[in-house]
Structure 1
Amino acid sequence: MNTATTGTDVRQHILDVAKPLILGKGFTAVGLTELLAAAQIPKGSFYHYFDSKEGFGEALLGQYFSGFLQHLDALLARPGPEAQRLMAFWDYWLATQISDNPADRCLVVKLGAEVCDLSERMRAVLDQGTRRIIERLARCIEAGKADGSLPLQADAADPAELATRLYQTWLGASLLAKITRSRSPLDNAMASTRQLLGLCATAD
């Protein structure tokens, strides 16, 4: 690494190098020695920016959610009816999960089950990040009801409950897609999403 880079640059460099490693192998399988070699930094530099590997994992997840939420906000701010914006998000999710680029994959799916029993700090970041995603989806669903673009049934769940159900559906589908090495679970999630949102017979 260039020794003239700032502390912020070095910290970001470590996180950038680590993400594809973690996505490929998981959190516990990537040892500190491998991470230091990939980032080309001494151990002292790592501990200057992170108090532990757990602290590093916490920062990695925090950065992931920050970028994910920024992209979600951009999708939900596009011109057009709310239903179209919401479906653009699910289209994005499907596209990234079937992508050949491991860097596109969902870090929640990769690390959720692995780290929640290992680290309360990392579990808390996952909990907070997923809640923020669901909150945004719920607001979009509420707005879609208001503008008429989401023709939900009268007995449909309230927006927060529906957003939670949809997010859980897509997390499960993403995990099953990994297990089966097939996009079928994601296609099924898309069909279920359209049905739950009342979009089966309408264009998005």
Structure 2
Amino acid sequence: MAKHEDTREHLLAVGESILRGKGFSAVGLAEILKAAEVPKGSFYHYFPSKEHFGCALLERYFVNYQRHMQSLETQYDCGSERLMHYWGTWLMSQGACSPANQCMVVKLSAEVADLSEPMRQVFKQGTNEVIERLAKWLDEPRCDGALSPNMDAQSVALMLYQMWLGASLLTKIRQDGSALETAMQTTCYLLGVKYI
């Protein structure tokens, strides 16, 4: 990797770890630069503004998120198994209430949607792509029982994603995993999978 790409990636990785814990508005560039050990001039070489940095960080997050989803496609042939692994991972990571595992959509979307139109657009595109992929998994041959024939995969994918985002927010508020457990029970019921 070229030095240019290496430094840019380093800034984004350090920035993501800080923003997961504190949010976007509460973190200044000085804190990111100090943690990354990168001079201010170098930051502006890669990003014209903090908003541009935020957009790049979110784009990077969604690329990595899609890579994770794609890896599930190679691990699991069956759509319902893939979906249950996806939601199970969500349950474990978000139920831990750890900033290091914090979903960036849960952590930042409400905050930045009102502050930055470009960042809101990145969130919109990224979440739409996640929902599309979930719908694709749901719409795979019905023989594995993921959905009954009269259910629309796109609508169910949207409903499930919304439910899990909401459950993740309640988990942050309550500091317990009860909302995520309910989301898992509801997901199992909708997909016709036994809840363990």
Matched residues in 1 for 2:191 and 2:174: separation?
A: 27
1:10-25 alignment, distance < 5 Å: 10-25=7-22
Give 1:200 shift.
4.3
- Structure 1 match to 2:168: 174
TM (norm. structure 1) is 0.90
1:101-116 alignment, distance < 5 Å: 101-116=98-113
The aligned amino acid for 2:115 is: L
Q: Which has the higher helix share?
A: 2
SS at match of 2:51: helix
- Structure 1 match to 2:188: 194
Kindly indicate whether residue 145 of structure 2 is the aligned counterpart of residue 149 of structure 1. yes
Give 1:196 shift.
1.5
- Comparing 30-39 with 108-117, greater Cα deviation is found at 30-39
- Structure 2 match to 1:51: 48
- How large is the Cα RMSD of the aligned pairs? 1.7
Q: 1:85 aligns with which of 82, 104, 112?
A: 82
TM (norm. structure 2) is 0.94
The aligned amino acid for 2:93 is: T
- Structure 2 match to 1:64: 61
Give 1:73 shift.
1.1
The aligned amino acid for 1:193 is: T
Contact residue 91 and residue 180 of structure 2 kept, 8 A: yes
Deviations 1:82-106 (A, max 9, x none): 1111111001111111236522210
Deviations 1:146-201 (A, max 9, x none): x233252x543x00000000000000000100000010000000011111222247
Aligned residues: 195
Matched residues in 2 for 1:57 and 1:79: separation?
A: 33
- Structure 2 match to 1:29: 26
Contact residue 151 and residue 199 of structure 1 kept, 8 A: no
Contact residue 20 and residue 100 of structure 2 kept, 8 A: yes
Matched residues in 1 for 2:21 and 2:81: separation?
A: 33
- Structure 2 match to 1:42: 39
- Comparing 95-104 with 17-26, greater Cα deviation is found at 95-104
The aligned amino acid for 1:84 is: E
